[in-house]
Amino acid sequence: MAQKTVKKKKALFVTVEGLEGSGKSSLIKTLEGLIKSRKLSCKIYREPGTTRVGEKIRKILLDKNNSEISPHTELLLYLAARTQLIEEKLKKDINIYDVIICDRFFDSTLVYQGYALGLGKAAERGVDIFSLGFVPDITFFLDVDPKLGLSRLKGRDRIESRPLSFHNRLREGYLQLAKINSSRIKIINARASLGEVSTAARKLLEGYLENR
Ligand code: TMP
């Protein structure tokens, strides 16, 4: 008699986006706690990074001494780090874990390189090609006043050191992207207290976990 096999569902793919100093790390810890309290398995990635090669690319990208990196080179390096993460880890992990949380994903490229650096179409095409078909199920965008976010930082890397006008454009870009993708991207007011931010995100995530 044929054995009945239960095929595991693909992991819920959650991404967290935000401006500098918006509190992504704290939110990710909260979400991880919620997922684990439901006895679900969870894997956390960060972008750029997570893989050995991705972490090396991250160092190059964030090093203030690398001021000569051109906008297109920057775009290609972010795409390269992402593709490495997808091919080395995500493709496999999506069939193993219940939930995968990624600290930033392709929305960062669309906003930072596409919108704020002005690479538009090149960023869109790069994202289309090199995300290899992976699209988050839900994206939390932590919305904070750029000035307030920057004031929370201890030091500033190459990207964080850009002028306030760049960070203001980032916020604009994220809000536009969230409008276009309103069913996927959820805006969370990150000016609120940590407790309020956690409650808002937990409620949204719980809905997704229940509907799985
Ligand atoms: P993090 O410090 O939030 O981990 O992110 C690293 C920096 O890289 C942050 O300044 C945002 C930036 N970034 C881009 O410019 N484009 C991208 O595609 C990604 C993933 C991050």
- Ligand 1 lined by 159 (C-beta under 6 Å): yes
User: Per residue in 12-22, pLDDT tens?
Assistant: 999 999 999 99
Residue 82 Cα: closest atom of ligand 1 = 20
Q: Shortest CA distance to 211 belongs to which of 115, 137, 123, 105?
A: 137
How far apart are the CA of 82 and the centre of ligand 1, in A?
11
How far apart are the CA of 48 and the centre of ligand 1, in A?
6
- Ligand 1 lined by 115 (C-beta under 6 Å): no
Look at residue 2 and tell me whether its pLDDT is greater than 60: no
Q: Shortest CA distance to 102 belongs to which of 86, 116, 78, 88?
A: 86
Residue 157 Cα: closest atom of ligand 1 = 10
Q: What is the mean pLDDT of residues 169-175?
A: 97
Q: Which residue has the higher pLDDT, 1 or 17?
A: 17
Look at residue 123 and tell me whether its pLDDT is greater than 70: yes
Q: Which two tokens stand for residue 30?
A: 């909260």
What are the phi and psi torsion angles at 54 (to 5°)?
-60, -40
Task: Check residue 155 and give its pLDDT.
Answer: 87
Helix boundaries (H) for the chain: 24-37, 52-62, 71-85, 91-93, 106-108, 120-130, 146-151, 164-180, 194-210
pTM score, whole prediction: 0.95
User: Per residue in 63-82, pLDDT tens?
Assistant: 999 999 999 999 999 999 99
Look at residue 3 and tell me whether its pLDDT is greater than 70: no
Domain 12-210, classified CATH 3.40.50.300, yes or no: yes
C-beta of residue 10 within 8 angstroms of C-beta of residue 94: yes
Task: Check residue 5 and give its pLDDT.
Answer: 65
Instruction: Please report where in the chains the tokens 């810890």 appear, as a residue.
Output: 29
For the chain, give every domain's residue range. 12-210
Q: In this structure, is the dihedral angle defined by the CA atoms of residues 93, 99, 102 and 105, taken in order, positive or negative? A: positive
- Average pLDDT over the chain, rounded to an integer: 94
Task: Check residue 9 and give its pLDDT.
Answer: 87
- Ligand 1 lined by 131 (C-beta under 6 Å): no
